Chains A and B, each alone.
Chain A
Amino acid sequence: MTSSVSIKSLGLGHRLSFSNFSTLLLSLPSLKSTPPLRHRLWFLIVMGVLLLTTVTPLSRAAAREPFPDVNMNDPASLQEATRVLQEEILLASRPQNYLLIDLVTKTVHIKGRGLDLYRLTIESWSFEAPEAADRTYRLIARPPLTRPTIDLTGSPKQIPLSLEDMPTAYTLSFAPPLTIEVQPSDERNLFHQLGTSLVASWRTWKKWIRSFALGSLVGEPTRPAPYLLLNIPHDQAKSLAWSAVDGMPLIIRRPTEK
């Protein structure tokens, strides 16, 4: 069992067991009567081993490419991927998990030690002031949770917190200033949609009034804080709310094409 697993982990992609393999090797001397066949078999084994040692690392390297979609002929795309990688290397060397929002592939990656721990799909997004989002952010306010308090009266029904209790629409606030609004993409409730558009309207108005007032008083335009709206399926929104912990770092990979 162990040998079969270890062969699988070597990337051979089949469940040939060591016992079968050794039986085959032991049977080789018995083929002395037919030397050409024996030579051919050894040749095949050597070639097979050589093929596996050369091809497997290559395919593994391709699978480990951090951004397989990066356009190697586009300087802007490469520069953005390089910037994200630089930031990620710093985060991956620390014990804390981190978030990587890849707007190019529309994926939220929950990562730790450079590993992709979990992936969430973004249905659609919009980004205000993305040019300022070129750094590592830290989560300062996660979605509010109502944690159940353990009932000391000895009630047998102790309800724990689970993924199902997580919100589907919430705001994540980061430092330096960045706001991420998460909305469920599969929410069909009219009131919810109305509420979403009212919140968005209020945001736009507030931003306009502030920039107008500051522009009039100070005389120079202010640099707006980035604002990212993510529409993701409601179950995935719950997963993100679950995994987001205070102080969690975040990096965003932005698209560079028009």
Chain B
Amino acid sequence: MRQWVVACSLLLLIGVPTASLSQRGESATPASPPAVSASLVTSGHREEPPPALSSLRARYKTLAKQLSRLKPQEPYILVDTARNHLYLKHRDTILLDALASTGSGTVLPKPGGGTEQWVFDTPRGTFFVQSKLLHPTWVKPDWAFIEEGLEIPRDQTARIEQGVLGTYALGFGKGYFIHGTLYTRLLGKNVTHGCIRLNDDDLKRVYQVARIGTPIIIF
């Protein structure tokens, strides 16, 4: 008896809503979605009468222009962290498509035994070139020592390392840089601590085109 009750309950649970899912499946083609009605944009709390077609057209065009003006008008840097590519673009034209290395997404617990940790992601969003450095020096942060199993030095000069960031570096805030690398075989992979690495030729090109204030859009 109990088995019958369980079986019937399961049947009800799966059977009835599956019918509604299949209806939803049919509605999946945007050509005829029954879940969405023609009165969609005038329903809900928008009960005022729709504006005239001509004013709607004018409004649409004004807004389209406004949106267009927000796009970078000068060359900009675009970084795809999923596929590890850096693009130098001007409007719709790609000036450079470079293989890059971006953040590894790994974590490193901070010393002290707490729950705090470093997360090695490349930040996403829009940034701007804040500094342009020639022959940059790497000032090693705490995590670099911990990762190597070394003690964090008290002497700041012990943090300085020459020649590991390549010939050029472009800073975009909070210690993040676009810089060169000694590990060119790792380009195209997520291996960095958040910075963006390029090979020497691509880095030189980016350095030449970018100015202070050039947008860097990372996704």
Cβ B36 vs Cβ A127 within 8 A: yes
Which residues of chain A are within 8 angstroms of B51 by Cβ–Cβ distance?
75, 79
Q: Is A95 in contact with B125, judged by CB distance below 8 angstroms?
A: yes
Q: In the complex, A258→B18 CA distance in Å?
A: 24
Contacts A89-B66, A95-B126, A95-B127; is A9 near B83 (CB within 8 Å)?
Answer: no
Interface size on B, residues (CB 8 A): 71
- With contacts A70-B60, A76-B41, A149-B107 taken as known, whether A114 is within 8 angstroms of B68 at the C-beta atoms is yes
Interface 1/0 per residue, B69-110 and A, CB below 8 Å: 011100000101111000000111101000000001111110
Stretch at the interface among B23-31, B134-142, B174-182, B195-203: B23-31
Give the docked Cα–Cα distance between A152 and B109 (Å): 10
Q: Are A82 and B59 in contact (CB under 8 A)?
A: yes
| Distance between Cα atoms of A256 and B189 in the complex (Å) | 43
Complex Cα distance, B149 from A8, in Å, reads: 51
Segment of A28-36, A42-50, A167-175, A197-205 in the binding face: A197-205
14 contacts between A and B (CB under 8 A): A79-B50, A82-B60, A83-B41, A95-B125, A103-B33, A117-B217, A124-B25, A126-B27, A130-B35, A134-B46, A160-B105, A200-B17, A204-B17, A256-B41
The chain B residues found within 8 Å of chain A, CB to CB, are 13-14, 16-18, 20-21, 24-25, 27-30, 32-33, 35-44, 46, 50-51, 53, 56-57, 59-60, 63-64, 66-68, 70-72, 78, 80-83, 90-93, 95, 104-109, 119, 124-127, 146-147, 149, 189-191, 215, 217, 219
* A-B pairs with lowest CB-CB distance, top 8: A161-B105, A124-B28, A160-B104, A201-B17, A204-B17, A85-B63, A126-B24, A95-B126
Given contacts A134-B46, A201-B14, A204-B20, 4 further A-B contacts (CB under 8 A): A89-B70, A96-B126, A200-B17, A205-B16
Which A residues fall within an 8 A CB radius of B? Answer: 5, 8-9, 11, 60, 63-66, 70, 72-73, 75-76, 78-83, 85-86, 88-89, 92-93, 95-97, 103-104, 106, 110, 112-115, 117-118, 124-128, 130-132, 134, 145, 147-150, 152, 154, 158, 160-163, 197-198, 200-205, 229, 231, 239, 242-243, 245, 254-258
